Copies of this chain bind each other. A is one copy, B any other.
Amino acid sequence: MTPGIPDEYFVRGNVPMTKEEIRILSISKLRLKEDSVIWDIGAGTGSVSVEAALISKRGVVYSIEKEEEGIKLINENIKKFNVENIVVVAGLAPDVLLDLPSPDRIFIGGAGDKMYQTFKTALTKLKRDGIIVVNGITLDTAYSAHRYFKQNKYKVETICVNISVSKEAGNKTMMIARNPVYIITAEKEG
């Protein structure tokens, strides 16, 4: 399985899943290494975890998820893609993060209510040269994440991704818009 796994390859249920384009862009921004230790906070269906685990073959992915349905789906996707380096962590960020091994990479798919506490814990535990990637669909997350990392002297880049997708309508081709997603990437320097 090569990077950029299509959405339909995953077991999905009713849990919201990062769309394939946003997933591969986010993973690309994470600049994974073969042995990276990765936190996937708010793992949802586990699609980012699976894709990251396949790339960081000799590393390990901690999939943090609070909902039972999500946890079930992550386990199904682990089985489906036959990955052995994902550890499912049931619980809520930031509390559940404290006992995990320090990560090289952190992905936050959806910043929950305790966004700032999660960011704070993330920054505390992130290793040197570590990278954090956050996906945001709200102005609040885009602004707050970007600003928080900047104030903490991280090198920050935010991209806003607007994608529309073709749909055949008779013999013509319409373009259907997806909602914009902000991808915030913060890199710890030095």
Contacts and interface: CB of A to CB of B under 8 A. Distances in A.
Contacts of A169: 138
A19 to B, nearest CB: 10
Contact of A166 (B6, B156, B173): B156
A163 interface: yes
Contact-residue bracket for chain A: 35 or more
A162 B139 contact: no
Contacts of A141: 172
Main secondary structure of the interface of A (DSSP, over half): mixed
Interface stretch (A26-34, A90-98, A122-130): A26-34
A157 interface: yes
Contacts of A24: 3-4, 24-25, 28
A161 B24 CA distance: 14
Contacts of A3: 2-4, 24, 27-28, 55
Nearest to A113: B170
A176 interface: yes
Interface string A140-176: 1111101100100000111111111110110111111
Contacts of A174: 137-138, 179
A80 interface: no
A100 interface: no
Nearest to A111: B172
Contacts of A179: 164, 174-177
